[in-house]
Amino acid sequence: MVLVGGEPGIGKSRLDGVLRERLAEEPHLVLRYQCSPYHLHSALYPFVEQFERAAGFAREDGAVTSWTR
Ligand SMILES: Nc1ncnc2c1ncn2[C@@H]1O[C@H](COP(=O)(O)OP(=O)(O)OP(=O)(O)O)[C@@H](O)[C@H]1O
Ligand SMILES: [Mg+2]
């Protein structure tokens, strides 16, 4: 595992892009999560959202519908 950190604009996204380009021919799995200042109070928001999407939950589904699908 590699953690890339640094000031805004230092080139983190570009590094990530080049790495993915170079891996294009290799069998691999990309898991991409995006945090957001709009969801600061929602624990593990990117992961929960991915699971909900994968399970086919609709935005208007309540908790009961979600659990019984
Ligand atoms: N090695 C490089 N050579 C030329 N240009 C570069 C290089 N690395 C980054 N850049 C350019 O610098 C700019 C900022 O890079 P990038 O978007 O990757 O930064 P970042 O660290 O992801 O920023 P942020 O924290 O805001 O997301 C982009 O226009 C990118 O193309
Ligand atoms: Mg970036």
Q: Answer yes or no: are the C-beta atoms of 64 and 50 closer than 8 Å.
A: no
Task: Please identify every residue whose CB atom is under 5 Å from ligand 2, which is an ion.
Answer: 13
The pLDDT tens digits of the residues spanning 17-47 come to: 999 999 999 999 988 888 889 999 999 999 9
- What is the span of the domain harbouring residue 62? 12-68
CA of 31 to the centre of ligand 2 (A): 16
Look at residue 67 in the predicted model and tell me its pLDDT. Answer: 67
Specify the ligand 1 atom closest to the Cα of 6. Answer: 21
Whether residue 58 is contained in a domain is answered as yes
CA dihedral angle for residue 47, residue 54, residue 59, residue 35, rounded to 10 degrees: 20
Stated pTM of the model: 0.71
Look at residue 58 in the predicted model and tell me its pLDDT. Answer: 79
Whether residue 5 is contained in a domain is answered as no
Specify the ligand 1 atom closest to the Cα of 10. Answer: 21
| pLDDT higher than threshold 90 for residue 5 | yes
Whether residue 59 is contained in a domain is answered as yes
Q: Answer yes or no: are the C-beta atoms of 16 and 4 closer than 8 Å.
A: yes
Whether residue 34 is contained in a domain is answered as yes
Mean pLDDT (whole number) for 7-17: 96
Q: Which ligand is nearest to the CA of 6?
A: 1
Among residues 19, 44, 17, 18, the alpha carbon closest in space to that of 33 is found at: 44
Whether residue 24 is contained in a domain is answered as yes
Whether residue 52 is contained in a domain is answered as yes
| Structural Rg of the chain based on CA atoms | 17
Look at residue 35 in the predicted model and tell me its pLDDT. Answer: 84
